[in-house]
A and B are shown apart, each in its own frame.
Chain A
Amino acid sequence: DAGITQSPRHKVTETGTPVTLRCHQTENHRYMYWYRQDPGHGLRLIHYSYGVKDTDKGEVSDGYSVSRSKTEDFLLTLESATSSQTSVYFCAISEMGRGNTGELFFGEGSRLTVL
């Protein structure tokens, strides 16, 4: 299994509080992603990174920010959590280029509840 760790795995917070989710990988993969999963929507991309300090927005980036200061860590921050951000968040990694398959490897998910 790919070495991907998400923390925390479960969190309950209140509206208006900041929240940071961490994704840590031991695979030295260049690409890292944050997705959210909601019923009826599948997985939707929030932000992704294609290298240290190189990030870009996905389709549902409003209300979220990310940072990647090291290859192994990709942080997702909700500056002021809202109830609409209650979801399951998945981190994923991949490597591209010759010999790689394009497959994304996923963490186990973090369930966030905003009251």
Chain B
Amino acid sequence: AQTVTQSQPEMSVQEAETVTLSCTYDTSESNYYLFWYKQPPSRQMILVIRQEAYKQQNATENRFSVNFQKAAKSFSLKISDSQLGDTAMYFCAFMGFISNFGNEKLTFGTGTRLTIIP
């Protein structure tokens, strides 16, 4: 079974600074997806960024980028120029593919609560 570990339960950073959230995972599969989801106080789950394991290039979405180290099974999220609206719970998640006809499940880490300080 896959496991996802987020070792930072809480973090805080000053507005406009850069922050990096860490995530490691364990799997024996070679093809998979990795995700970062954001959950603001509204409780809505919002996709931040997505990485496909077969792509060596790190994904970026505006101020959000990842550092994907496949051999180390590490998938960290960097938020540049942090904004107050980035305050949220951030979840790292793993999706593997056991077959083409099912079993595509998303496994989540326990989350990192990020607070942006004005």
**Contacts from A to B (Cβ < 8 Å):** 31, 33, 35, 40-45, 48, 50, 54, 56, 58-59, 88, 90, 92, 94, 96, 101-104, 106, 108-109
Known: A101-B50, A106-B44. A42 touches B105 (CB 8 A): no
From B13-21, B70-78, B108-116, give the one contacting chain A.
B108-116
- Cα-based distance from A88 to B95 in the complex (angstroms): 22
- B59-118 residues with Cβ-Cβ distance < 8 A to A are 91, 95, 101-111
Q: Which bracket fits the contact residues of B?
A: 20 to 34
Apart from A42-B110, A56-B103: 6 A-B pairs, beta carbons within 8 A: A40-B110, A42-B6, A43-B108, A48-B105, A56-B102, A101-B50
8 pairs of residues in contact across A and B, judged by CB atoms under 8 Å: A31-B104, A35-B108, A43-B91, A54-B102, A58-B105, A102-B50, A104-B106, A108-B44
Which residue in chain B gives the minimum CB-CB distance to A103?
Answer: B47
Count CB-based A-B contacts (< 8 Å). Answer: 52
- Cα-based distance from A33 to B108 in the complex (angstroms): 13
Q: Which residues of B contact A45 (CB under 8 A)?
A: 105-107
Q: Determine whether the beta carbon of B101 is less than 8 Å from that of A90.
A: no
Contact of A42 among B33, B47, B104, B108 (CB under 8 A): B108
B35 in contact (CB, < 8 A): yes
Q: Which residues of B contact A58 (CB under 8 A)?
A: 105
Q: Determine whether the beta carbon of A102 is less than 8 Å from that of B104.
A: yes
Which residue in chain A gives the minimum CB-CB distance to B109?
Answer: A42
A95 CB, nearest partner CB in chain B, Å: 10
Q: Which residues of A contact B107 (CB under 8 A)?
A: 45
B11 in contact (CB, < 8 A): no
Q: Which residues of B contact A41 (CB under 8 A)?
A: 110
Q: Which residues of B contact A109 (CB under 8 A)?
A: 43-44
Q: Determine whether the beta carbon of B105 is less than 8 Å from that of A88.
A: no
Q: Determine whether the beta carbon of A50 is less than 8 Å from that of B108.
A: no
- Cα-based distance from A50 to B1 in the complex (angstroms): 19
Q: Determine whether the beta carbon of A106 is less than 8 Å from that of B104.
A: no
Q: Determine whether the beta carbon of B111 is less than 8 Å from that of A102.
A: no
A91 CB, nearest partner CB in chain B, Å: 11
Q: Which residues of A contact B50 (CB under 8 A)?
A: 101-103
Q: Which residues of B contact A59 (CB under 8 A)?
A: 1
